A and B are shown apart, each in its own frame.
Chain A
Amino acid sequence: MILEMIKAAIFSILSNKLRTFLSMLGITIGVAAVIAVVSIGQGAGESIKERISSLGSNILFVVPGKIGGVGGRIAQAVGDVLNEDDAVKIKTYCPSVSHVTPVLQRQYNVQHGDVNTISSIIGVYPEVFTMLNLEVEQGRTFDNNDNGRRVCIIGYGVKEELFGEKDPLGESLYIVTPAGKQKFTVVGVLKPAGQLLMFRPDEAIILPFKTAKNRIFHTKQVSLLMVQVEEEELTAQAINELDAYLFAKFKDENMYNIISQEIILSTVNETMKILNLTLGGIAGISLLVGGIGIMNIMLVSVTERTREIGVRKALGATNFHVLLQFLVESVAITVIGGIMGIVLGAVAGKLIGNIMELSVQVTPGVVLVAVGVSTMVGLFFGVFPAYKASRLSPVEALRYE
């Protein structure tokens, strides 16, 4: 019986192709939007998590003020609190910490010959290379003997941009600061490293800390402190030690913040969840609109086919048969629309993923949910028209012109 109903529904859908297709489109677009948004969201989330995890869970950051705090001005005010001295003291007072480096970081214009680009100038201790597992492809890293000297290690992207095919070792480049141009000699090129949360080594120029401080930044304050914990298991303990030191110094826990991979991950997870829910919700609204379209077309169809309903009842169709017939029809429309939407959404997701360089995955879970939801939409918005059809009195339906 159900099989006959489905056949009849498909038959009826086929005999009104354009109209059915148009009302199907609402569902298709809705489902496509959900699929695309969710899979792009998942892809983006994965890639962000990957970047965070690539830091290693034993790296901590000490940053001034509260993350996402009360606004720019306050962040600025508390920005003047950390300095190089803190790095040295942390190393002394926090036994779980194996390495610390202060970090100076800002964007500047960089020139070589007639080529110029904007890149991130980072001033750090030599420890940073071991802490972040950065390796050179050419030349060398710097050590403490270089501190104060005008040498720099450039990221792979910077090399490509400024020097192209030319060998950059021993070449000089200029960093343009408001106080004037500063000349540096390239002594090393980093291997491509991708994104490391707060840094993009590929697009960075790394200077010895003292050099950066004296030649470029001209300030005692540092952007942040990067801390490596002796062993991963000691991370929690290290956070406590850092907190003890910093609280002793500032007497105010709002003046500083300790960030671990875990904290960032959980923040990112929260943010992604809210983002996905919001986007999913918006996409869901388009499904709702699509559903209303289906209901509308089904109501029109019921009115148009009043006489048919009368005939069917005269031939022995029960109210339930008629209800089922129209319900199967609306569900068939939404399911077919949903399947088209899945295909469309997957393709759109992949395309957008390629453009955004994300690995977009259409998981079976998403597909299942999409099919489930479109079936539910069909049922929900089909019930009223179908019920209306089933309640028609056979005589009145037969008389209907």
Chain B
Amino acid sequence: MIKLEEVTKVYRMGTEEVRALDGVTLWVDEGEMLVIMGPSGSGKSTLLHIMGCLDRPTGGKVFIDGEDISRLSDAQLARLRNSTIGFVFQQFNLLPRMTAFGNIELPLIYAGIPRKERIRRVKTLLKRFELENRARHKPGQLSGGQQQRVAIARALANEPKMILADEPTGNLDTASGKTVIENLVRLNKEGITVIVVTHDPEVASKGHRIIYLRDGRIVGEEVK
């Protein structure tokens, strides 16, 4: 599904070079639930962004479904994100001026799906995440848990092969966090590859495999 070969990512902060990733080699299987853990600044988010085609590596190679993404144009990467990858963020990252419905509909618009079909799919998703009577609410009118459910619904809109979640429970109370974890586990059982960056041992315990990152390197791996 995803293969990383000796991936490095170097940022330039003024005159100083920061090696966010320093030779990461990693394989993620289809249908796997992978947890990435590590202290702040260890490169977890950078790794997730690169696997999600939001960023390009400085060195090394990234393959998604066997395709070398360094060969793809920005537009092709955008289409890849749109069709095969769903993102869930710690900050939810819903568009504040749009309703829950509008937020979930957005990836479908970029996929060029006709209106009727969009409405049908969004309604199904709203129902699935028990948000039917929140469809016309804006993010500001929703609780954290509800917002994160909208975000997951949005990530699923185009029926992606994988979900990438960056600290999905980081901004939630325990109960809401639990619901989000349950949702992710359920999606994984349905066959979607789930990759989660987290500090939360509760989340980590659900993973098939945990990798530990420190200073941009994989320093440990735990398979269950």
- Interface of A toward B, CB cutoff 8 Å: 1, 4, 11-12, 15, 307-308, 310-321, 393-395, 398
Contacts and interface: CB of A to CB of B under 8 A. Distances in A.
21 contacts: A1-B112, A15-B97, A311-B94, A311-B95, A313-B78, A313-B81, A314-B52, A314-B81, A314-B93, A315-B81, A315-B82, A315-B87, A315-B110, A316-B78, A316-B82, A316-B107, A316-B111, A318-B78, A318-B110, A321-B110, A395-B49
Contacts of B106: 312, 315
Contact of A315 (B49, B55, B107): B107
Main secondary structure of the interface of A (DSSP, over half): helix
Nearest to B105: A4
Contact of B81 (A11, A307, A316, A393): A316
A310 B78 CA distance: 11
B127 interface: no
B158 A398 contact: no
B49 A317 contact: no
Contacts of A317: 78, 82, 110
B67 interface: no
Q: Which 8 A-B pairs have the closest CB atoms?
A: A316-B82, A318-B78, A316-B110, A315-B107, A395-B55, A318-B75, A394-B54, A311-B93
A319 B107 CA distance: 14
Interface in B48-65: 49, 52, 54-55
B79 interface: yes
Q: Which of B54, B98, B158 counts the most A-chain CB atoms under 10 A from its CB?
A: B54
A292 B124 CA distance: 45
Interface residues of B, number: 26
A4 B87 contact: no
A204 B97 CA distance: 71
Contacts of A15: 97
B154 interface: yes
Interface of B: 49, 52, 54-55, 74-75, 78-79, 81-83, 87, 89, 93-95, 97-98, 106-107, 109-112, 154, 158
Contacts of A395: 49, 54-55
A7 to B, nearest CB: 10
B136 to A, nearest CB: 14
A319 B93 contact: no
B97 A12 contact: yes
A4 B107 CA distance: 12
B110 A308 contact: no
A11 B89 CA distance: 25
Q: Which of B75, B78, B89, B154 counts the most A-chain CB atoms under 10 A from its CB?
A: B78
Given A317-B78, A318-B75, 8 more contacts: A307-B93, A315-B106, A315-B107, A316-B78, A316-B82, A316-B107, A395-B49, A395-B55
A197 B89 CA distance: 79
B97 A11 contact: yes
Nearest to B164: A314
Contacts of B83: 316
Nearest to A311: B93
Contact of A394 (B55, B95, B154): B55
A317 B108 CA distance: 10
B37 to A, nearest CB: 21
Nearest to A401: B91
A322 to B, nearest CB: 9
Contacts of A308: 95
B157 to A, nearest CB: 8
Q: Which of A313, A314, A316 counts the most B-chain CB atoms under 10 A from its CB?
A: A316
Contacts of B98: 11
A11 B99 CA distance: 12
A307 B96 CA distance: 11
A312 B54 CA distance: 11
A188 to B, nearest CB: 78
Given A1-B112, A312-B106, A319 B78 contact: yes
B54 A314 contact: yes
Contacts of A319: 74-75, 78
Contacts of B79: 316, 318
Contacts of A307: 93
Contact of B74 (A311, A314, A318): A318
B163 to A, nearest CB: 12
B73 to A, nearest CB: 9
A27 to B, nearest CB: 24
B95 A314 contact: no
